[in-house]
């Protein structure tokens, strides 16, 4: 974006009256020589937000924010400084004067402006067709069935794209918008037989940026089997970057601030609209039919400190939210999860149980990892191996939390819920963080070129091709950390046949160490398969049978046959060490529960006594 001249910046600020400008967004009341209101940037009941016309500034004595008219627009509409300047200039009729810019940038800006113009025209056309055209009766019936009335359709400019594009094409041509520009906007696509309309017989959702410009569309099919793609989104254009746009954000920026910098993240457009219009939850947004990206998370971090995931309320919905959690947590947001009833999404919950049920679910949202670990524990039940494998998975999720203090609180909570040692879990998380920092970039961020138009309005077969985005490359595999006692037992069992036999006889005694010590699950699987010591093929087959994070833990081990004297003594010592370390891990876990503060005084006393008894047992064996 070109630079606005200093003289023009001064004219914009001179033209803007801070009382008038703030009064367009907030209801002000005179208080002596100034004006006051409840602060739009934090929740309060007693007005502490003051606007001073003499100084042309605003200040909140509650949360401390303040500045001039441009700063207010920046904060209220969550804009960067140049965009806020342009917004204020538009409000007060000041012509923006810019420095000379790169010719190529100037050309791209002109194309972008024309694309937005084409989209704006199309959005108006689609909306009129939905509201007035008899042929759109099935779309209106669908919206009525979902309890989206005409007022909601108008508020979000919902529309219908007819199968025949000629009417819109003629309208565009009359406005000086030719087919090439329609293709630049991806309203027309290109195939072997010429141009074809991208959206045909679809419910249309205009996609707006934070300034409210229509930069693209998302279209939903109306009949099953009509198209294998339920939703079709605008492709990458000069104005549209799907990975950088969030549906509903242009309406939600102010409400996010008023909700204490909290955003509600849904899965789809209709859920967002239902939150806004049916439940008055106006801080809701959604992605555009794709997984959350780093760009999505960075954008939300500008507006929010806390995100509540409001996905489908079944086990699959909680797990599907994992990618979103990873992105948001890595960007520095606190991530919570709203527990919806199984099989319900925000819109269906409103229709079946009412808006208050959704509001209560969001108000009762809990930290994502807390919800996730409880779900996983329910699924694995009493399976010792599965519970052991759960620890590194939860450590991997905890490692995504960017804020170190918040991350450590989560680690303490996870250690308690997983009944594992706090120090060991903390070490595992730190190992994962270090491994990620050392890993090379894993995602190619090159953008596809915008489509180029041909002549004619054909309907080529390619329009039903695969328009899905490439999946990011796999995350770097982080090896499970082997507890030293477990590592020693694995080495004996891998390299000595007699040791295998002796450990097999003591497998019942080893169940507690297997459950409590990191890497125990690998020892369990080794004792189940018993690859022959010295047989490289057998060892490779065993390693290949393990999940990646487990096989990676064995990368520096092998099963070279080792001859030992007094094997029984070595095995006895190794088992005793594992037993002692298990008791130590149990004491550590009990102390974590005591420190968590989530138990009663009586429970804390009982746990402290248990710690004392276990420590006495250790001291007696010393």
Q: Are 528 and 503 in contact (CB under 8 A)?
A: no
Q: Is residue 57 classed exposed, middle or buried when 0-12, 13-18 and 19+ CB atoms within 10 A define those classes?
A: middle
pLDDT the model gives residue 289: 67
Query: 447, 448, 451, 449: which is closest to 196 by C-alpha?
Result: 451
> Can you tell me the distance from the alpha carbon of 421 to that of 586, in angstroms, rounded to the nearest whole number?
7
pLDDT the model gives residue 469: 39
Percent of the chain with pLDDT over 90: 35
pLDDT the model gives residue 487: 85
Category of 230 on φ-ψ map: left (φ > 0), alpha (ψ -120 to 50) or beta? alpha
The tokens 């990618």 sit on which residue?
323
Is the pLDDT reported for residue 346 higher than 60?
yes
> Can you tell me the distance from the alpha carbon of 145 to that of 410, in angstroms, rounded to the nearest whole number?
43
pLDDT the model gives residue 440: 56
Three-state DSSP at 284 gives: strand
Angle (CA) 524-528-530 rounded to 5° is 110
Helices (H) and strands (E) in the chain, counts: 28, 16
pLDDT confidence band for 570 (50 / 70 / 90): confident
Q: What is the DSSP string of 425-466?
A: HHHHHHHHHHHHHHSPP----PPPPPP---SSB---GGGGS-
Which range is least confidently modeled, 178-187, 333-342, 466-475, 509-518?
466-475
Q: Is residue 35 classed exposed, middle or buried when 0-12, 13-18 and 19+ CB atoms within 10 A define those classes?
A: buried
> Can you tell me the distance from the alpha carbon of 589 to that of 324, in angstroms, rounded to the nearest whole number?
30
Which range is least confidently modeled, 92-106, 283-297, 362-376?
92-106
Q: What is the DSSP string of 237-255?
A: -SS--GGG--BTHHHHHHH
> Can you tell me the distance from the alpha carbon of 147 to that of 389, in angstroms, rounded to the nearest whole number?
45
Query: Could you give phi then psi for residue 507, rounded to 5 degrees?
Result: -60, -35
Q: Is residue 356 classed exposed, middle or buried when 0-12, 13-18 and 19+ CB atoms within 10 A define those classes?
A: exposed
Q: Give the best-scoring range by mean pLDDT among 50-64, 119-133, 329-343.
A: 119-133
The tokens 């918040």 sit on which residue?
406
Per residue in 192-243, pLDDT (tens digit) is: 778 899 999 999 999 998 878 999 999 999 887 777 788 899 988 989 988 8
Task: Report, as an integer, the average pLDDT of 470-480.
Answer: 53
Is the pLDDT reported for residue 474 higher than 50?
no
Is the pLDDT reported for residue 104 higher than 90?
no
Q: Are 350 and 274 in contact (CB under 8 A)?
A: yes
Percent of the chain with pLDDT over 70: 90
> Can you tell me the distance from the alpha carbon of 74 to that of 364, in angstroms, rounded to the nearest whole number?
31
> Can you tell me the distance from the alpha carbon of 579 to that of 488, in angstroms, rounded to the nearest whole number?
13
pLDDT the model gives residue 443: 39
> Can you tell me the distance from the alpha carbon of 564 to that of 544, in angstroms, rounded to the nearest whole number?
28
Which comes out higher in pLDDT, residue 592 or 67?
67
Q: SS3 letters for 328-364?
A: HHHCCCEEEECCCCCCCCHHHHHHHHCHHHHHHHHHC
Is the pLDDT reported for residue 325 higher than 90?
yes
pLDDT the model gives residue 471: 41
pLDDT confidence band for 512 (50 / 70 / 90): confident
Q: What share of the chain is helix, strand, coil (3-state, %, to 5)?
A: 55, 10, 35
Q: Are 146 and 347 in contact (CB under 8 A)?
A: yes
Q: Are 265 and 324 in contact (CB under 8 A)?
A: yes
pLDDT the model gives residue 167: 94
Q: In the predicted model, what is the mean pLDDT of the chain?
A: 84
Q: Give the best-scoring range by mean pLDDT among 278-282, 387-391, 577-581.
A: 278-282
> Can you tell me the distance from the alpha carbon of 404 to that of 104, in angstroms, rounded to the nearest whole number?
43
Query: Strand locations in 256-406, DSSP E?
Result: 262-266, 284-286, 306-309, 334-337, 366-367
> Can you tell me the distance from the alpha carbon of 485 to that of 22, in angstroms, rounded to the nearest whole number?
66
The tokens 């009064």 sit on which residue?
23
Query: 72, 43, 24, 41: which is closest to 257 by C-alpha?
Result: 41
Task: Report, as an integer, the average pLDDT of 161-171.
Answer: 94
**Residues, the chain, total?**
622
Task: Report, as an integer, the average pLDDT of 244-270.
Answer: 88
pLDDT the model gives residue 617: 81
The tokens 């409000």 sit on which residue?
91
pLDDT the model gives residue 191: 77
Which comes out higher in pLDDT, residue 409 or 518?
409
The rounded Cα 585 to chain-centroid distance in angstroms is 34
pLDDT the model gives residue 567: 82
> Can you tell me the distance from the alpha carbon of 531 to that of 529, in angstroms, rounded to the nearest whole number?
6
pLDDT the model gives residue 336: 96
The tokens 């490289």 sit on which residue?
536
Task: Report, as an integer, the average pLDDT of 31-58.
Answer: 86
> Can you tell me the distance from the alpha carbon of 237 to that of 585, in angstroms, rounded to the nearest whole number?
56
Q: What is the DSSP string of 167-215?
A: HHHHHHHHTT--HHHHHHTTSEEEETTEEEES--SEEEEEEE-TT--EE
Is the pLDDT reported for residue 447 higher than 50?
no
């Amino acid at each position: 974006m070109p630079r606005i001249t200093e003289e023009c910046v001064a004219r914009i600020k001179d033209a803007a009256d801070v009382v008038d400008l703030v009064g367009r967004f907030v209801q002000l009341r005179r208080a002596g020589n100034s004006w006051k209101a409840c602060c739009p940037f934090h929740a309060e009941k007693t007005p502490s937000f003051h606007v001073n016309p003499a100084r042309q500034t605003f200040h909140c004595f509650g949360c401390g924010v303040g500045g001039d008219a441009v700063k207010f627009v920046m904060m209220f509409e969550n804009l960067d400084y140049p965009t806020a300047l342009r917004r204020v200039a538009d409000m007060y009729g000041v012509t923006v004067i810019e420095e000379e810019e790169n010719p190529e940038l100037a050309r791209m800006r002109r194309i972008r402006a024309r694309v937005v113009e084409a989209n704006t025209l199309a959005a108006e056309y689609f909306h009129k067709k939905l509201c007035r055209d008899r042929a759109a009766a099935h779309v209106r019936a669908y919206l009525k069935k979902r309890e989206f009335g005409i007022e909601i359709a108008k508020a979000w400019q919902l529309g219908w794209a007819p199968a025949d594009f000629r009417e819109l094409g003629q309208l565009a041509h009359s406005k000086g918008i030719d087919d090439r520009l329609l293709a630049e906007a991806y309203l027309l696509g290109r195939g072997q037989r010429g141009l074809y309309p991208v959206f045909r017989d679809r419910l249309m959702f205009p996609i707006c940026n934070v300034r409210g410009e229509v930069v693209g569309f998302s279209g939903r099919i109306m009949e099953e089997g009509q198209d294998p793609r339920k939703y079709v989104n605008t492709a990458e254009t000069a104005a549209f970057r799907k990975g950088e746009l969030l549906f509903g954000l242009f309406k939600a920026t102010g409400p996010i601030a008023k909700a204490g910098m909290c955003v509600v993240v849904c899965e789809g457009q209709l859920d967002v609209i239902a939150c806004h219009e049916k439940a008055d939850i106006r801080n809701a947004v959604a992605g555009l039919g794709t997984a959350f990206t780093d760009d999505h998370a960075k954008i939300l971090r500008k507006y929010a400190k806390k995100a509540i995931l409001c996905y489908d309320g079944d086990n699959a919905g909680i797990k599907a939210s994992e990618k979103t959690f990873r992105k948001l947590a890595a960007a520095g947001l606190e991530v919570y999860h709203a527990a919806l009833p199984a099989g319900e999404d925000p819109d269906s919950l409103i229709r079946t149980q009412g808006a208050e049920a959704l509001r209560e679910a969001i108000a009762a949202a809990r930290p994502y990892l807390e919800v996730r670990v409880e779900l996983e524990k329910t699924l694995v039940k009493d399976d010792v191996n599965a519970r052991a494998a759960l620890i590194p998975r939860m450590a991997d999720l905890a490692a995504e939390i960017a804020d170190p203090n918040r991350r450590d609180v989560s680690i303490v909570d996870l250690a308690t819920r997983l009944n594992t040692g706090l120090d060991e879990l903390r070490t595992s998380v730190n190992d994962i963080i270090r491994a990620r920092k050392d890993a090379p970039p894993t995602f190619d961020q090159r953008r596809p070129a915008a489509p180029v138009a041909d002549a004619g309005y054909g309907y080529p077969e390619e329009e039903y091709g695969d328009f899905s985005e490439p999946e990011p490359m796999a995350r770097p595999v982080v090896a499970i950390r082997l507890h030293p006692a477990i590592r020693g037992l694995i080495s004996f069992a891998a390299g000595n046949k007699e040791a295998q036999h002796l450990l097999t006889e003591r497998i019942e005694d080893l169940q507690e160490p297997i459950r409590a010590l990191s890497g125990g699950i690998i020892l369990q699987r080794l004792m189940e398969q018993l690859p022959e010591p010295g047989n490289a093929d057998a060892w490779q087959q065993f390693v290949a049978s393990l999940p990646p994070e487990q096989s990676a833990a064995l990368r520096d081990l092998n099963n070279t046959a080792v001859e030992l004297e007094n094997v029984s003594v070595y095995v006895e010592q190794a088992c005793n060490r594992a037993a002692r370390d298990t008791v130590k891990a149990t004491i550590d876990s009990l102390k974590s529960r005591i420190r968590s503060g989530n138990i009663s005084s009586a429970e804390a006393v009982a746990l402290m006594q248990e710690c004392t008894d276990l420590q006495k047992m250790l001291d007696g064996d010393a």
